Amino acid sequence: MCRDHESKARAIAENVVSILRHKPVEYGILSAGHEAVLAGLMHELLTVMPTESSDALAAACSRFLDTLPSPSKRRPWVEAVNSVGGCVTMREGKRVNAFKGRSGSEFL
């Protein structure tokens, strides 16, 4: 595994967690533990690397977020990832853009 991919995955994962920690709505997602969420996000990201595709990176993050418990129907999801700097755009609620997951299923 390339160290560059690991650092990029970690930067993206840390940005996702940072956004979740500063949201006014409590999703309960971080109840799994900060390090566990980071590790899960990194694992999903590394399954699609190497890629520069914002959609593939965003789908990987959202796939992991969907596995975490959330007391709210308005779940957070990753809309876009800047593959160069690791900047993340997140939304909540119903996904506006459909994208194909690794298993071929669509998320809406």
Residue 30's domain comprises: 3-102
Task: List 76's β-bridge partners, or say none.
Answer: 92
**20 part of a folded domain:** yes
pTM: 0.79
107 inside domain: no
- Total domains in the fold of the chain: 1
Reported as a single tens digit per residue, the pLDDT across 56-91 is 999 999 999 988 876 667 778 899 999 888 999 998
Question: Is the pLDDT confidence value at 96 over 90?
Answer: no
Confidence of residue 40 (pLDDT cuts 50, 70, 90): very high
Amino acid, single-letter form, for residue 85? G
108 lies in some domain: no
The token duo for 61 is 């993050």
CA–CA separation, 43 and 85 (whole Å): 19
pLDDT for 99 equals: 47
Strands 106-107 and 99-100: antiparallel
Domain annotation covers residue 69: yes
